[in-house]
């Protein structure tokens, strides 16, 4: 086995050993380049003196350089050019060094963060009962951030500033040892007091980090449990709780400031105290004639230069302690004693895991009452279905997790066939066992991604890259190697089709569809598919088929007068009273589905079109009329009644604003007049008008005719050679509209009861007849499920997780608390599952004895012990 | 097909006699103007009532279930409001309404009607008056019927 070394188990406890271990070579390089800058800087400081004293004020020219003679002016030019050259060199070196340090810091940070995340993945499951994501997230993201900035300076700064200090001190000692002693007199005092103060600061900042973590955790918990907060009117308590924590944070911070600035004060004070000794002792020595006046002045000047490096060193010391503490406070959380080996994650060998599931005297404890099992011995023969029965807290969930290899027994062994599960890696456990527990997780992403999640173990293909792509990829690979990150290629195909028993992705879709049917999720996804948008450039024939359904629908509507009364089809030459004014005017939709009706008036093409034929004024007038009517109707209605929200175009908050606009528009004054924004809003209001629904009487026949005329012009002048809009055309699929809206080339009439529902029924039957249901479901695969599947119901999430597990084709399937209802639906679902999994091992966890009775083998758990078994 | 014509029609409905025009306009605006063709059902006896119907034009047959099937008991026509009982108290529809010819109807949903009553107590009062009058008439009818029964 790989990686069972000590270093794999533990993280470096101190920041410096971490830095040295992973960047010693780079640190030495930085030091060397830093040393290289010394002579440059020295010459740069000396040159100005030479220029003034020798070139400008000097005499006895020419000077000889490398065998060349220079007169005064050429000599000045030579020196100045040298100066310029050195300025470039020294700044260039500085630039290079800063970038190098920054890069090193970022690499170390990437390595550290990845290591921390990988360690989280290596935690055993019970460990997650002790840690919360609210605490772990800031550790990996913000708390280690400072480490990155520190890494580049860790060795070079003390070396550089220390060197400067020694040089300056040496100079003072050479002038006079006594003055030298005076210069360093305060150092022992500072060296004694500052660490004591700093130690306290370090303790405080440790406390602060932990307090911030609690705050992060509480905020996270507040977000997850927000419904519970409102349902129990507990916001006051949570506010008080958080406010208390914030106060705690304030107190700690305040103490830190006090101490930190006291250290600064002490440092400043001591530094300015030293000149006192210089003047005293130096002055005495000069008067006595033991020291020359020039030497004293030189020493005082040198001392001034001393303060810089000393301050830098002090700041460095404070930073070292601070970052060191942060590092320690983070890494100590990532070293649980029972952490898994890295190999468990990275190993890619799969063992054929076939055979009976056997427990031999297994004991396990999850760390709390009701989470332990004692002395379990059982056997589920290969290829049979077995119910594991027991109420929550009986140890049922633990037994099933043990069987899935998700947790390890404290004593005893769990086998599948001859393999001890504790000795296997994720690459076997996660591929050969399908486990769906009571609490499933659906990932943020599409339904497709979630369904095929169980097949995404490793990248399986090699992506062909050329030119620039290849260069970019190679760079990312070398960076990954540099920071010990994995080199898995995200762009590759990760779907293990062989495991799912299919040969290509289309077959996988079909297989998923079949399983979705078995878990009765296909109807839901069909509905999602109808609501989804689809890009016809991906699949031309699908768009074609949708258009065929559209034609068929038109034919049926034409043939059936009752149907004809339910829809108003798009017709370029008539006004569609069930559609909005915008749809009627443009007879087109914005190509970008993200553009809302409120944004349309501000589109440049729309603006210029409207003003070109005077429609802008007309639409604003309609907007004013609508606003006026709304004001009249709703001005006496209280906002709390909810009438305004559901029926008006205008919300309660917008009323005063529109009232102002109407007043201005009606007064006829040009000043102050309506602002551009007002005009857009009035136009937007007009756009939303659906004449058959709103019946405000603004749409006169005359206006309708004008709109139809303008429509032709808009199509002719704007839509034709502008891809911002797509025209309604019976022969064209419109990607910005949903599939459903594309199927029906028109609008259900709003003045007929249940028109939408009745038309939908007709659409559904045509879709079924033409075999379009399947592609629409596949379109539904692209539905985005929201954050952690929040746009799906709990039942839908569970079923998706179920299909995910079934797609793996694992020889052993373990289901816990899935489909355990007594409803007909759940009964049918269980039967389907049994038939899909027949011939494979199935462990089925339930708390219901009647459901358990459906299985030929049963084990019953009671308080962590097997109470009976029937086989 | 504008609010104004609907308000004209609403004004003729006895229930809305004493109510001023702006409120009638609001009532018209929040209702759904719906067309029913001959034979289409407005509502069915026994189902939950979610809206009241104000007939703007056309007629509807009122049918009730009898052991022998549905039987027409009355006809309602222009300017009458039907189905308001079901939205005031949560009882299932007491009869079926079928369009006898092409109808134009304003449908007021239960929620909106109740909100409107909340907003404007004078409408509530008017509704109450109308209902009380109906009750009075029903009571009188009942008394007469009883007398008639006992008498002969």
Tens digits of residue pLDDT in A115-149: 999 999 999 988 888 888 888 998 999 889 988 88
Query: Does a structural domain hold residue B120?
Result: yes
d(Cα A182, Cα A280) in Å, to the nearest integer?
A: 10
CA distance B26 to B22: 6
pLDDT, mean over chain A:
87
Predicted confidence (pLDDT) at residue A639 exceeds the cutoff of 70? no
Smallest Cα distance from A752 to chain B, Å: 5
Per-residue pLDDT tens digits for A400-411: 999 999 999 999
Assign A248 a pLDDT band (cuts: 50, 70, 90).
very high
Q: What's the pLDDT tens digit per position in A741-772?
A: 888 888 888 888 888 888 888 888 888 888 88
Which residues on A lie below 8 Å from B3 (Cβ)? 629, 695-697
How many other C-beta atoms lie within 10 A of the C-beta of residue B74? Answer: 11
Q: Do B33 and A692 touch (CB under 8 A)?
A: yes
Q: How many CB pairs under 8 A join A and B?
A: 61
* pLDDT on residue A232: 94
Tell me the nearest-neighbour CA distance from A594 into chain B, angstroms. Answer: 30
* pLDDT value of position A381: 92
Cα A253 to Cα A520: distance, rounded to the nearest angstrom: 57
A642 lies within 8 A of chain B by CB: yes
At A546-575, the pLDDT tens digits run 888 888 888 888 888 888 888 888 888 888
Q: Which domain holds residue B57?
A: 3-144
Residues of A in contact with B37 (CB under 8 A): 562, 565
B48 is a domain residue: yes
pLDDT at A841 over 70: yes
Taking the C-alpha atoms of residue A562 and residue A67, their distance in angstroms, rounded to an integer, is 110
Q: Does the pLDDT at position A5 exceed 50? A: no
Q: What is the pLDDT along chain B (152 residues), one digit of tens a residue?
A: 577 888 888 888 877 777 788 888 888 888 888 888 888 888 888 888 888 898 988 999 999 988 888 888 888 888 888 887 777 777 888 889 999 999 989 888 888 888 888 888 877 888 788 788 888 988 998 888 888 765 44
What pLDDT was estimated at residue A646? 61
Is B115 in contact with A753 (Cβ distance < 8 A)? no
- pTM of the entire predicted model: 0.75
Asked whether residue B130 is domain-assigned, the answer is: yes
pLDDT tops 50 at residue A173: yes
Check: CB of residue A22 under 8 Å from CB of residue A14: no
Report yes or no: B41 and B82 within 8 Å, Cβ to Cβ: no
Confidence of residue A2 (pLDDT cuts 50, 70, 90): very low
| Segment of A371-375, A379-383, A591-595, B64-68 carrying the highest mean pLDDT | A379-383
Task: Read off the pLDDT band of A178 (50, 70, 90).
Answer: confident
State what percent of residues in chain A have pLDDT above 70.
97
Would the pLDDT of A535 be above 60?
Answer: yes
Over residues A672-690, mean pLDDT: 84
SS3 per residue for A542-585: HHHHHHHHHHHHHHHHHHCHHHHCCEEECCCCCCCCCCCHHHHH
> Angle at which helices A522-531 and A773-781 pack, to 10 degrees?
80
Beta bridge partners of B60: B76, B99
* Statement: residue A1 has pLDDT above 60: no
A753 touches B: beta carbon within 8 Å: yes
Q: A632: which chain B residues are within 8 Å (Cβ-Cβ)?
A: 22, 25
Mean pLDDT of the region A16-34: 91
Does residue B116 lie in a domain region?
Answer: yes
Asked whether residue B39 is assigned to any structural domain, the reply reads: yes
Examine residue B75 and state whether it is found in any structural domain, yes or no: yes
Residue A816 vs residue A300, higher pLDDT: A816
Question: Within an 8 Å CB–CB cutoff, is residue A750 touching chain B?
Answer: yes
User: Which residues on B lie below 8 Å from A697 (Cβ)?
Assistant: 2-4
Mean pLDDT computed over A417-435: 92
Measured CB to CB, residues of chain B less than 8 Å from chain A are: 1-4, 6, 22, 25-26, 28-30, 32-37, 40, 107, 112, 115-116, 118-120
Taking contacts as CB-CB distances below 8 angstroms, the residues of chain B near A750 are: 32
- pLDDT score at A8: 59
User: What is the tens place of the pLDDT at every residue in A73-126?
Assistant: 888 898 899 999 999 998 999 899 999 999 999 999 999 999 999 999 999 988
Residue B122 or residue A841, greater confidence: A841
**Minimum distance, in Å, between the CA of residue B7 and any CA atom of chain A:** 12
To the nearest whole percent, how much of chain A has pLDDT over 90?
32
Q: Which of B28, B37, B115 sits opposite A642 (nearest CB)?
A: B115
Q: Which domains does chain A have, with CATH numbers?
A: 11-334 (1.20.1560.10), 343-439+810-870 (3.40.50.300), 533-561+730-781 (no CATH), 571-725 (no CATH)
> Does any domain span residue B152?
no
Please report whether residue B59 resides in a domain. yes
Q: Do B34 and A643 touch (CB under 8 A)?
A: no
CB atoms within 10 A of CB A13: 12
Best probe of the A interface among B2, B4, B103, B106, by most A CBs < 10 A, is: B2
Instruction: Out of A45-49, A64-68, A249-253, A748-752, give the one with best mean pLDDT.
Output: A249-253
CB contact under 8 A, B34 and A751: yes
CA distance B30 to B9: 15
Nearest CA to B104 out of B40, B41, B36, B52 is that of B36
**Domain of B139: which CATH number?**
2.60.120.10
ipTM of predicted assembly, 2 dp: 0.81
> What element of type H or E holds B42?
strand B41-43
Q: How many domains would you assign to chain B?
A: 1
Check pLDDT > 60 for residue A871: no
CA-closest candidate to residue A871, choices A857, A853, A861, A850: A857
pLDDT tens track for A451-472:
999 999 999 988 899 899 999 9
DSSP H or E run through A590: strand A588-590
Q: H/E/C letters for each residue in A133-187?
A: HHHHHHHHHHHCHHHHHHHCCCCHHHHHHHHHHHHHHHHHHHHCHHHHHHHHCHH
């Amino acid at each position: 086995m790989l990686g069972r070394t000590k270093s794999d188990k533990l993280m470096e406890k101190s920041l410096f050993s971490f830095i040295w271990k992973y960047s010693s070579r780079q640190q030495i390089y930085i030091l060397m380049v830093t040393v290289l800058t010394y002579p440059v800087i020295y010459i740069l400081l000396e040159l100005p003196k030479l220029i003034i004293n020798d070139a400008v004020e000097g005499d006895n020219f020419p000077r000889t350089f490398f065998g060349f003679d220079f007169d005064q002016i050429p000599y000045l030019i030579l020196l100045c050019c040298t100066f310029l050259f050195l300025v470039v060199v020294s700044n260039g070196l500085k630039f290079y060094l800063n970038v190098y340090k920054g890069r090193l810091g970022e690499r170390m940070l990437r390595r550290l963060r990845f290591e921390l995340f990988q360690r989280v993945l290596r935690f055993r499951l019970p460990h997650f009962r002790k840690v919360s994501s609210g605490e772990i997230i800031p550790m990996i993201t913000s708390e280690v951030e400072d480490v990155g900035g520190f890494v580049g300076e860790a060795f070079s700064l003390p070396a550089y500033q220390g060197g400067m200090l020694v040089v300056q001190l040496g100079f003072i000692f050479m002038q006079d040892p006594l003055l030298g002693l005076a210069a360093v007199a305060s150092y022992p005092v500072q060296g004694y007091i500052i660490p004591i103060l700093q130690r306290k600061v370090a303790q405080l900042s440790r406390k602060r980090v932990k307090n911030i973590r609690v705050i992060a955790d509480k905020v996270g918990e507040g977000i997850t449990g927000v419904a519970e907060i409102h349902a129990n009117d507990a916001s006051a308590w949570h506010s008080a709780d958080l406010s208390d924590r914030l106060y705690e944070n304030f107190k700690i911070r305040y103490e830190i400031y006090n101490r930190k600035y006291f250290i600064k004060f002490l440092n400043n004070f001591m530094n300015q105290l030293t000149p006192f000794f210089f003047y005293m002792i130096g002055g005495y020595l000069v008067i006595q004639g033991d020291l020359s006046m020039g030497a004293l002045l030189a020493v005082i000047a040198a001392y001034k230069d001393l303060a810089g490096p000393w301050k830098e060193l002090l700041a460095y010391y404070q930073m070292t302690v601070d970052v060191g503490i942060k590092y320690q406070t983070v890494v100590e959380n990532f070293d649980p004693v029972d952490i898994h080996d890295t190999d468990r994650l990275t190993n890619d060998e799969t063992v054929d895991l076939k055979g009976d599931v056997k427990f031999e005297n297994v004991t396990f404890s999850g760390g709390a009452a009701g989470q332990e099992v004692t002395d379990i011995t059982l056997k589920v023969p290969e290829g049979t279905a077995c119910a594991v029965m027991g109420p929550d807290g009986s140890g049922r969930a633990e037994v099933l997790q043990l069987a899935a290899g998700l947790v390890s027994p404290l004593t005893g062994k769990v086998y599948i066939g001859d393999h001890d599960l504790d000795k296997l890696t994720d690459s076997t456990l996660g591929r050969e066992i399908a486990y769906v527990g009571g609490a499933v997780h659906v990932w943020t992403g599409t339904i497709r991604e979630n369904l095929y999640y169980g097949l995404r173990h490793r990248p399986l293909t090699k992506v062909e890259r050329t030119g620039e792509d290849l260069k970019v990829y190679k760079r990312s690979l070398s960076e990954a190697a540099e920071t010990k990150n994995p080199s898995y290629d995200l762009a590759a195909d990760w779907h293990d089709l062989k495991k799912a028993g299919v040969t290509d992705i289309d077959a996988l879709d079909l297989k998923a569809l079949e399983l979705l049917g078995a878990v009765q999720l296909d109807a839901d996804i069909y509905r999602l598919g109808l609501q989804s948008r689809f890009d016809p450039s991906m699949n031309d024939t699908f768009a074609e088929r949708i258009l065929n359904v559209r034609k068929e629908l038109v034919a049926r509507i034409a043939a059936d007068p009752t149907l004809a009364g339910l829809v108003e089809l798009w017709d370029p030459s008539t006004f569609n009273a069930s559609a909005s004014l915008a749809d009627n005017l443009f007879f087109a939709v914005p190509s970008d589905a993200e553009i809302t009706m409120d944004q349309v008036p501000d589109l440049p093409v729309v603006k210029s079109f409207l003003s070109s034929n005077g429609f802008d004024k007309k639409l604003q007038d309609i907007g004013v009329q609508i606003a006026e009517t709304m004001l009249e109707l709703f001005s006496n209605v209280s906002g709390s009644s909810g009438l305004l929200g559901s029926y008006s175009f205008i919300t309660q908050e917008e009323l005063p604003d529109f009232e102002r606009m109407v007043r201005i528009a009606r007064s006829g004054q040009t000043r102050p007049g309506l602002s551009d924004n007002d005009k857009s809003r009035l136009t937007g209001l007009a756009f939303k008008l659906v004449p058959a629904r709103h019946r405000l009487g603004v749409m006169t026949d005359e206006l309708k005719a004008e709109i139809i005329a303008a429509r032709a012009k808009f199509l002719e002048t704007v839509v034709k050679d502008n891809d911002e809009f797509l025209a309604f055309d019976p022969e064209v699929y419109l990607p910005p509209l949903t599939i459903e809206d594309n199927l029906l080339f028109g609008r259900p009439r709003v003045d007929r009861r249940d028109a939408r529902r009745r038309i939908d029924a007709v659409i559904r039957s045509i879709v079924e007849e033409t075999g379009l249901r399947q592609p629409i479901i596949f379109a539904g695969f692209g539905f985005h499920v929201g954050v952690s599947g929040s746009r799906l119901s709990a039942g839908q999430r569970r079923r998706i997780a179920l299909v995910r597990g079934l797609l793996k084709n694992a020889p052993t399937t373990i289901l816990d608390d899935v489909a355990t209802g007594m409803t007909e639906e759940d009964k049918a679902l269980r039967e389907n599952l049994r038939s899909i999994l027949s011939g494979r091992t199935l462990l089925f966890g339930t708390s219901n004895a009647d459901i358990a009775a459906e299985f030929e083998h049963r084990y019953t758990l009671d308080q962590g012990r097997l109470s009976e078994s029937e086989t | 097909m504008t609010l104004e014509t609907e308000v004209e029609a609403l004004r003729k409905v006895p229930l809305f006699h004493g109510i001023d025009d702006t409120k009638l306009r609001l009532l018209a605006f929040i209702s759904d103007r719906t067309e029913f063709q001959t034979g289409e059902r407005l509502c069915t006896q026994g189902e939950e009532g979610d809206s009241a119907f104000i007939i703007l034009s056309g007629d509807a047959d009122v049918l009730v279930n009898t052991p022998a099937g549905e039987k027409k008991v009355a006809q309602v026509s222009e300017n009458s409001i039907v189905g308001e009982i079901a939205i005031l108290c949560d009882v299932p529809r007491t009869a079926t309404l079928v369009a006898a010819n092409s109808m134009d109807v304003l449908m007021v949903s239960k929620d909106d009607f109740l909100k409107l009553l909340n907003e404007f107590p004078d409408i509530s009062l008017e509704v109450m008056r109308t209902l009380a009058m109906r009750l009075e008439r029903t009571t009188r009818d009942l008394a007469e019927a009883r007398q008639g029964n006992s008498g002969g």
